[in-house]
Amino acid sequence: GNSVTQMEGPVTLSEEAFLTINCTYTATGYPSLFWYVQYPGEGLQLLLKATKADDKGSNKGFEATYRKETTSFHLEKGSVQVSDSAVYFCALPLFYGGSQGNLIFGKGTKLSVKP
């Protein structure tokens, strides 16, 4: 099956700093790639996704580009806010093709943004 490796945290930044969270994957074919976010005490929410190579997913100022040549899907934001403090998970389907089933997740990166 596919696999994902995510930069481990925690990451502490000051407000308005630039954020990068690295994510690399091993996959058969070209599955969709996802970033999910988990705010304290809540379930996971889809942050953004990309469905094919060179696609850029974006939401709430966050971006990630599906790079097949480097098998990466790094999450970036130009200017973080305190409200972005959360745990971020990179994810992809366990198996390529057919109906999407089991997602596999990275270990998560905890981001803390200080005012």
Where on the chain is the footprint of another protein (CB under 8 A)?
Answer: 6, 32, 34, 36, 41-46, 49, 51, 89, 91, 93-94, 99-108
3-state percent breakdown (helix, strand, coil) of the chain, nearest 5: 5, 50, 45
For another protein, give the closer residue by CB, 25 or 36.
36
CA distance 86 to 38: 6
Residue type, 80: V
What six digits make up the tokens of 8? 């481990």
Of 70 and 102, the one with the shorter C-beta distance to another protein is 102
Nearer to another protein, 24 or 32 (CB): 32
Rounded to a whole number of angstroms, the minimum distance from the CB of residue 5 to another protein is: 11
Q: How far is the CB of 81 from another protein (least distance, A)?
A: 23
Determine the residue type at 30.
Y
